[in-house]
């Protein structure tokens, strides 16, 4: 009887410990406000070839689509009161389409594999001169997939040596808790364990916002952010 009681206590404590360490019920939600970013139209090498290979209707519809600048905003929560388990996320793809990197801002964790894929009907190149993350995949034709592993935490700037207007950012984070803002400026950062965090709001063309929050278990914090240049 005594041994059964001890086993029950050990089992209860182990379950309680698991629930304590895996509880991820807290969240942050709200709206991001930011200045209007004018999308400049530029002529680039390769457009003349695209126009010859595409119908006029298709070219017109592509030119009319403008991505929302809000989707370039990444909100991340960096634990202060505990150590989060950090793993590489699944393979992430960055496309070159209409002489643009899609998506323009890519949040990842260290060890994540990035696939660069050319979806245009002309050559593209991808390179970075960020210290500690320098690479150059060379000029690649349509459909070619090139992989790179992200190791350095922080901003890794991407460019194309053929099209000067092309740029993107790999944002390698030291936290598994992050989200991309929706096209309407709304965001939801959920699955957060109880604890103290530094919240960072990032956009490549804006000043970064840093704030400290203390989340209780199963708590929802509603907070808006306003980015500025």
By mean pLDDT, which of 15-24, 75-84, 208-217 is the weakest? 15-24
Q: What local confidence, expressed as pLDDT, does residue 12 receive?
A: 41
| Per-residue pLDDT tens over the stretch 100-114 | 999 999 999 999 999
215 vs 196: CA distance, rounded Å = 6
Q: Which two tokens stand for residue 70?
A: 């809000």
| Per-residue pLDDT tens over the stretch 5-60 | 443 434 444 444 434 444 578 999 999 999 987 655 444 444 433 433 333 334 33
Torsion angle of alpha carbons 133, 139, 142, 145, nearest 10°?
-30
Environment class of 69 (CB within 10 Å of its CB; exposed 0-12, middle 13-18, buried 19+) = buried
Q: Determine which helix (DSSP H) or strand (DSSP E) holds 168, and give its type and residue range.
A: strand 167-172
The predicted model gives 63-70 an average pLDDT of 66
Please state the domain extents for the chain: 2-226
By mean pLDDT, which of 30-44, 198-212, 215-229 is the weakest? 30-44
The predicted model gives 197-218 an average pLDDT of 97
Q: What local confidence, expressed as pLDDT, does residue 63 receive?
A: 38
Work out the mean pLDDT of the chain and round it to a whole number: 84
Question: Which residues, including other chains, have CB under 8 Å from residue 29's CB and lie 6 or more apart?
Answer: 186, 187, 188, 189, 190, 220, 221, 222, 223
Q: What local confidence, expressed as pLDDT, does residue 1 receive?
A: 52
Model confidence band, residue 68 (pLDDT cutoffs 50, 70, 90): confident
Which of 50, 76, 36, 25 has the alpha carbon at shortest distance from 187? Answer: 76
The third-level CATH classification (topology) of the domain covering 2-226 is Immunoglobulin-like (2.60.40)
Q: What local confidence, expressed as pLDDT, does residue 37 receive?
A: 74
Whether residue 116 has pLDDT greater than 50: yes
211 vs 224: CA distance, rounded Å = 12
């Amino acid at each position: 009887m005594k041994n059964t009681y001890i086993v029950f206590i050990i089992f209860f404590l182990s379950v309680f410990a698991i629930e304590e360490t895996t509880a991820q019920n807290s969240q942050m939600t709200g709206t991001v406000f930011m200045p209007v970013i004018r999308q400049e139209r530029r002529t680039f090498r390769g457009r003349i070839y695209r126009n010859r290979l595409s119908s006029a209707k298709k070219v017109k519809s592509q030119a009319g689509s403008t991505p929302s600048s809000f989707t370039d905003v990444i909100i991340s929560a960096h634990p202060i009161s505990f150590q989060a388990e950090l793993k590489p996320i699944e393979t992430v793809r960055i496309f070159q389409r209409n002489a643009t990197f899609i998506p323009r801002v890519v949040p990842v964790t260290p060890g994540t594999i990035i696939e660069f894929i050319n979806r245009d009907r002309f050559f593209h190149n991808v390179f970075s001169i960020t210290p500690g993350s320098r690479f150059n995949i060379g000029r690649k034709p349509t459909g070619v997939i090139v992989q790179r592993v992200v190791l350095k935490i922080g901003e890794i700037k991407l460019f194309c040596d053929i099209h000067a207007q092309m740029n993107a950012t790999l944002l390698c984070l030291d936290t598994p808790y992050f989200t991309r803002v929706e096209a309407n400026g709304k965001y939801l950062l959920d699955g957060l364990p109880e604890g103290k965090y530094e919240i960072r709001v990032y956009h490549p063309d804006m000043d970064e916002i840093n704030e400290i929050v203390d989340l209780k278990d199963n708590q929802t914090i509603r907070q808006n952010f306003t980015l500025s240049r």
